[in-house]
Chains A and B, each alone.
Chain A
Amino acid sequence: MIWISLAGCWNGSANSMPVSEPSKQHRCVLAVALCLLLVACEPPPAEPIRFYAFGTIIEITLPAVSANQKAAVEPELIAAFQHWQQHWHPWQAGGTKNLAAVNRSLKSHNRAELDPEIKALIDAARPYYQESDGLFDPAIGGLVKLWGFNQDKLQDTPPTPAALSGWLNARPRYSDLRIDNDRLISDNAGLQLDFGAFAKGYALEQVATLLKNNHIESALINAGGDLIALGRTRPDADARAWHIGIRHPRKAGVLAELELKDGEALVTSGDYERYFIHDRKRYHHILDPRSGRPADRSIAVSVIHTDAARADAAATALFVAGPGHWRAMAEQLQIKTAMLIDSEGHIHLTDTMQERLQFKSDPAAGIETTP
């Protein structure tokens, strides 16, 4: 019926109708309105690619790819993460060219043959060790192991004072490592590598490159809460920037929200990620290489930068630097957009971060802290 009636728009038959009948223009308006009504629903957001790697959930949202393109790139993404997980894990058994093999060889011979990928990882982290004055130091693998943060199931007591003193006396540093013709040489017998404060950011950078090489310009890559954004949420003119919530460090919900722009990474280091409570004190996984103990003047640091690897290393270094020194450390690491929440619950912001964040409550009031 309606098709016959509306057909008058196109065949001009309305001209012959009596004046009480709808005019040609009216019919066109009706047709357009009905079409708009029927197509008004926004297409559902693309279903992200999800899998498990690096001990966390990886979620990659690709809003502007066809089903075929997604099917083609998904195995490549999963394979890349699985490879990195196997290659960069510091302790797992097996393998001869991975980081675990390097650690075993360093422990027994103070030297190790280097696979090109591990060499690239070691080289990539070195500038951040230097710029952070050693507050970000991947050479603390032995310390991480002493505290048990290398295991899925955490221990419930701190290491003994004697064990901590032993590590501090040896005090391995990244600067104790030399590379000589694809051979890694350690000048410190206690040196073990752990890139836990760097690997996810480094991987995010590589995934972004992988997607760009596949001509994918819009994506949100989420590696256990660490993020990098490409493009916007949609390829068309209605696209908006990626809308991100930053988790409240002490209770359920979001502390603040912001829009993440094309090419930006947002990385947060928090004392709530891996920790245990002993005698009502929280012992978390972000260790201060100077004391050998968890850095206790910060509870969370968030960093935005266009280089996810730098953001990841910097989040750790700023956390360890604490509220008294984090601004100077941010400058050293070329970080302009950052937030630190100190152990008293006070929120510290760089000017550019203050401009970007929308808080759920007045940031000047700080947050309540509990152990």
Chain B
Amino acid sequence: MTTHLTTPGDRVVIGLALILVILLYGVYRPPSASGDRLEYSTPHRHEILSLNQDQILEVNGSLGTSRIEIRDGAARFLDSPCRNQYCIHSGWLEQEGDFAACLPNRITLLVQADRQQSYDAINY
């Protein structure tokens, strides 16, 4: 005589619960869950974006509008109204902790990865 851990009904319910958890995770997970997200801060706003969604953002800073490109899991300053353009020369930010700032325009970009391993802050 065998002893079963669950009844067929229990197994159906457990399966449904697992599916529900997976679906809810897909809906409510932070953008970083797949590995990478971009945090950008300006004098006016702070936002977290997925690095997996290609786009070009126009972001207003203290001097004017900076354009930030997100492509193929990386981000960069594409254009900025600062004089020296060092934010643009920072190039692509891809790895966790990659950081670039347009200090004259008060815009910072930070690549964060899994929440468990990401930095609580960048010192500069």
Contact = CB atoms under 8 A, between A and B. Distances in A.
Interface of A: 1-2, 5-6, 19-23, 26, 30, 34, 37-38, 41-42, 44-45, 48, 50, 52, 55-57, 59, 61, 152-154, 156, 220, 222, 224-227, 233, 242-247, 251-254, 257, 266-268, 270, 272-277, 302
B124 A22 contact: no
Contacts of A153: 63, 83, 104
B63 to A, nearest CB: 8
A245 B63 CA distance: 28
Most buried by A among B42, B63, B83, B121: B121
B104 A254 contact: no
A82 to B, nearest CB: 13
A26 B92 CA distance: 54
Interface of B, secondary structure class, is loop
A20 B7 CA distance: 9
Contact of B1 (A20, A244, A254): A20
26 contacts: A5-B13, A20-B1, A21-B4, A30-B5, A37-B18, A52-B106, A57-B43, A57-B108, A59-B46, A153-B63, A153-B83, A156-B83, A225-B122, A225-B123, A227-B123, A233-B120, A242-B121, A243-B119, A245-B97, A252-B90, A252-B91, A253-B95, A254-B99, A272-B86, A273-B124, A276-B84
B112 to A, nearest CB: 10
Contacts of A23: 3
B7 A273 contact: no
Given A2-B10, A30-B5, A252-B91, A247 B121 contact: no
A227 to B, nearest CB: 6
Contact of A22 (B4, B41, B44, B95): B4
Interface in B27-55: 30, 41-44, 46
Nearest to B2: A20
B107 to A, nearest CB: 9
A20 B41 contact: no
Contacts of B1: 19-20
A220 B120 contact: yes
Contacts of B122: 225, 244-247, 254
A284 B81 CA distance: 20
Contacts of A233: 120
A22 B90 contact: no
A37 B20 CA distance: 11
B93 A37 contact: no
Contacts of B65: none
Given A34-B14, A57-B106, 11 more contacts: A23-B3, A37-B17, A52-B44, A57-B41, A57-B46, A225-B122, A244-B123, A252-B99, A272-B86, A276-B83, A276-B84
Nearest to A63: B120
A252 B106 CA distance: 16
Most buried by B among A57, A222, A276, A277: A57
Contact of A252 (B5, B14, B25, B100): B100
A268 B124 CA distance: 6
Contacts of B42: 57
B89 to A, nearest CB: 9
Contacts of A274: 103
Given A19-B1, A247-B123, A252-B99, A1 B17 contact: no
B121 A227 contact: yes
A293 B92 CA distance: 33
Nearest to A155: B83
A247 B3 CA distance: 60
Given A26-B6, A273-B103, A252 B93 contact: yes
Given A22-B6, A156-B83, A253 B98 contact: yes
Contact of A246 (B5, B18, B103, B123): B123
Nearest to A5: B10
A273 B21 CA distance: 46
Nearest to B9: A1
Contacts of A245: 97, 99, 119, 121-123
Given A152-B104, A154-B83, A226 B123 contact: yes
A57 B106 CA distance: 8
A65 to B, nearest CB: 16
A23 to B, nearest CB: 7
Contacts of B60: none
A196 B91 CA distance: 30
